Structure 1
Amino acid sequence: MFAGIPIANPAHAELRIAMIETMSGSQASSGEMFRNGLEYVIGKINRQGGFRGEPITFKVYDSAGTTTGAAQRFQEAVSDNMDLVIQGASSAIAGQLTDDVRKFNMRNPGKEKVFITVGAGAMELTGQRCHYYAFRFYPTPSMWAGALVNAMKGSGALEGRVYAINQDYSWGQDWQKATEELAGPGGYTIVGETLHDVNRIQDFSPYVAKIKIAEPDTVITGNWSNDLLLLMKATKDAGLSARFATSNLDQPGNLANAGLAALGHYNASMGSPEIGDGSFAEEYRKAYGRYPAYNDISASVSMEFIMRALQSVKGEGDVAPAEIVAAIEGFSYDSAYGPQSVRIEDHQFLMPLVVTRVDKNAKYKADGTDMGFLPIATVEPDNLIYPVQDTCRMKRP
Structure 2
Amino acid sequence: MSGSTTSRRAVLGAVLAAVAVTASACGSPQEAASGGLTVGVVYSQSGPLASYGAQYAEGFKAGLAYATGGTGKIGERQVEVTWIDDAGDPVKAVSAAKDLIGKGVKVLAGSTSSGVALQVAPLAAENKVLFVSGPAASDAVTGANKYTFRSGRQSYQDVLTAKAYLGDGKKVLVFAPDSAFGKSNVAAVQNVLGGAGATVTDIAVPATATDFTPFANQVKAAAPDLVFVAWAGTTAGAMWQALDQQGVLASTKVVTGLDIRASWAGFGAGGTKLNLLAHYFDGAADNAAYQALKAAVPGGKTDLFHPDGFAAAQMIVHALQGSPDDVDKMVGSLEGYSFDSVKGKLTIRAEDHALLQPMFQAKLSGSGDALTATPSGTLTPEDAAPPAAAMKG
Over residues 146-192 of structure 1, what are the superposed CA-to-partner deviations in whole Å (9 max), with x where a residue is unaligned?
11213x35xx6x856533111223332231132233336767555x5
The whole-number CA distance in structure 2 between the counterparts of 1:23 and 1:336 is 23
Question: Are 1:182 and 2:182 an aligned pair?
Answer: no
353, 357, 362: which one aligns with 2:363: 357
Q: Is the 8 A contact 1:20 1:85 kept in 2?
A: yes
How many pairs are equivalent? 361
Partner of 1:380: 380
SS at match of 1:258: helix
Gaps of 5+ in 2: 1-6, 12-33
After superposition, residues 1-397 of structure 1 pair within 5 angstroms as 14-45=36-67, 48-51=70-73, 52-105=75-128, 113-127=129-143, 130-150=144-164, 152=165, 161-183=171-193, 190=200, 193-198=202-207, 200-239=208-247, 240-241=249-250, 242-247=252-257, 249-274=258-283, 275-276=285-286, 280=290, 284=294, 287-289=297-299, 291-307=301-317, 309-310=318-319, 313=322, 318-335=324-341, 337-360=343-366, 369-390=369-390, 392-394=391-393
User: Where in structure 1 are there 5+ consecutive unaligned residues?
Assistant: 6-11, 106-112, 361-366
Partner of residue 364, structure 1: none
Cα distance in 2 between the residues matched to 1:281 and 1:251: 19
- Is the 1:338–1:380 contact (alpha carbons within 8 Å) kept by the matching residues of 2? no
Identity percentage over the alignment?
A: 19
- Secondary structure at 1:195 match in 2: strand
**1:260/1:21 CA distance change after superposition, 3 Å:** same
Change (3 A) 1:347 1:124: same
Cα RMSD over matched residues? Answer: 3.3
Q: Distance in 1 between matches of 2:139 and 2:292?
A: 35
Query: Which structure's residues are more often helix, by fraction?
Result: 2
Classify 1:92/1:228 alpha carbon distance in 2 versus 1 (closer, same or farther; 3 Å). Answer: same
Equivalents in 2 of 1:203, 1:380: separation in Å?
Answer: 38
**Match for 1:114: what amino acid?**
L
Residues 185-240 of structure 1 show CA distances to partners (whole Å, capped at 9, x for unaligned) of: 767555x5201222x11111211122222334532122211343331232344453
**SS of aligned partner of 1:381:** coil
TM-score by length of 2: 0.79
TM-score by length of structure 1 reads 0.78
Residues 60 and 309 in structure 2, CA contact (< 8 A), matched pair in contact too: yes
Deviations 1:313-337, CA, capped at 9 Å, x for gaps: 3x8xx44322321221142125564
Taking the aligned partners of 2:105 and 2:92, their CA distance within structure 1 comes to 17
Higher deviation after alignment, 78-87 or 57-66: 78-87
Query: What is the CA distance between 1:370 and its match in structure 2?
Result: 2.4
Q: Is the 8 A contact 1:147 1:353 kept in 2?
A: yes
Which deviations, in whole Å up to 9, do the C-alpha atoms of 1:45-104 show, x marking residues without a partner?
566222224442122111122221112111332244333211232222112111222222
